[in-house]
């Protein structure tokens, strides 16, 4: 049997995972069940088992995807090339404002973590890893360890606060505050050219 035929009548692993992700975001982990997902995809329940041994394997795949679209995105942003500290901070903030850091998925995992200790442990580990990366960014730009730690926590808790409170602001509103946020986070004001490049990239969808 060809892979194309398998993909046609069984769906695909990515399709099942995408449907599970949407269900998790919309209804929490209790909404991630095989039969409802099969109905949504227009596939048979047995098709699921072609790609996943069981529901627990699907949930594990969801947790792996969450890491890829949140933690790994943030870690990459902290090491992106920058000529100035303020540009480095704008690189970081871009991952949140552009949507590369999946805020909806992050919110869903944090909600899941309230009921599942193993998910909560993943979240605690991710928090520590992200904070360490933010501190390392600031240390590379000359901040003392204690200062880097506090600034990193300020950056991170603000961003997680936006997500946890499901704050909905227009891009124009966020952009109007960006220079002030960068100054709070780094102690330096970004230049006009840096802000212009930052805004152009966001408006272009980058």
CATH code for the domain in which residue 20 is found: 1.10.10.60
Distance between CA 100 and CA 51 in Å, rounded?
Answer: 27
pLDDT score for 10: 78
d(CA 126, CA 70): 9
Domain-terminating residue out of 37, 64, 91: 64
Find where tokens 């409802």 sit: 36
- Residue 72's pLDDT is what? 98
Answer yes or no: do 112 and 27 share one domain.
Answer: no
Q: How confident is the model at residue 206 (pLDDT cuts 50, 70, 90)?
A: low
Residue holding tokens 């909806």?
104
Confidence of residue 16 (pLDDT cuts 50, 70, 90): very high
Q: How far is C-alpha 123 from the geometric centre of its chain's CA atoms?
A: 12
CA 199, CA 197: separation in Å to the nearest integer?
6
Instruction: Assess whether 83 and 174 both reside in one domain.
Output: yes
Out of 47, 64, 81, a domain closes at 64
Same-domain check for residues 57 and 157:
no
Same domain, 13 and 91: no
> DSSP assignment, residue 11?
-
- pLDDT value, residue 205: 80
* 16-20, 70-74, 144-148, 169-173: range with lowest mean pLDDT: 169-173
Share of the chain above pLDDT 90, in %: 92
User: What's the rounded mean pLDDT across residues 151-169?
Assistant: 96
pLDDT value at position 4? 33
pTM over 0.75: yes
59 contact partners, CB below 8 Å, separation of at least 6: 29, 32
Q: Hey, which bits of the chain come out as E strands?
A: none
What's the mean pLDDT when you consider all of the chain? 94
Residues 114 and 14 placed together within one structural domain of the fold: no
User: What three-state secondary structure class fits 44?
Assistant: coil
Contacts 24+ apart (CB under 8 A), 113-120: 115/29, 116/29, 119/63
Question: Residue 199 pLDDT > 50, yes or no?
Answer: yes
**92 and 142 inside one domain:** yes
Tell me which residue range forms the domain holding 50: 3-64
Structural domain count of the chain: 2
| Average pLDDT value for residue range 59-63 | 98
Checking if the pLDDT of 173 tops 50, the result is yes
Model pLDDT, residue 106: 98
Average pLDDT over residues 170-188: 96
pLDDT for position 9:
62
Q: Which secondary structure element, helix H or strand E, spans residue 45, and what is its range?
A: helix 45-48
**Are 111 and 198 found together in one domain?**
yes
Distance CA 8, CA 77 (A): 37
Average pLDDT over residues 139-150: 98
Whether residue 113 contacts residue 120, with contact meaning beta carbons closer than 8 Å, is answered with yes
**Averaged pLDDT for residues 62-75:** 98
Is pLDDT of 58 > 50?
Answer: yes
**Cβ pair 108, 24 in contact under 8 A:** yes
Band of residue 174 on the pLDDT scale cut at 50, 70, 90: very high
């Amino acid at each position: 049997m060809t892979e194309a035929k398998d993909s046609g009548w069984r769906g695909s692993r990515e399709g099942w995972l995408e449907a599970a992700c949407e269900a998790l975001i919309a209804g929490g982990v209790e909404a991630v069940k095989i039969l409802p997902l099969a109905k949504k995809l227009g596939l048979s329940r047995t098709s699921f088992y072609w790609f996943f041994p069981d529901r627990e394997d699907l949930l594990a795949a969801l947790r792996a995807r969450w890491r890829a679209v949140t933690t790994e995105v943030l870690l990459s942003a902290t090491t992106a090339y920058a000529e100035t500290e303020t540009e480095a901070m704008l690189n970081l903030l871009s991952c949140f404002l552009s949507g590369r850091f999946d805020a909806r998925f992050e919110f869903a995992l944090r909600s899941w973590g309230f009921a599942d200790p193993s998910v909560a442990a993943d979240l605690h580990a991710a928090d520590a890893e992200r904070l360490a990366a933010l501190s390392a960014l600031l240390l590379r730009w000359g901040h003392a360890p204690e200062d880097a730690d506090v600034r990193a926590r300020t950056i991170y808790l603000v961003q997680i606060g936006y997500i946890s409170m499901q704050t909905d602001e227009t891009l124009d509103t966020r952009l109007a505050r960006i220079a002030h946020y960068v100054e709070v986070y780094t102690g330096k004001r970004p230049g006009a050219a840096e802000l212009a490049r930052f805004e152009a990239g966001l408006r272009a969808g980058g």
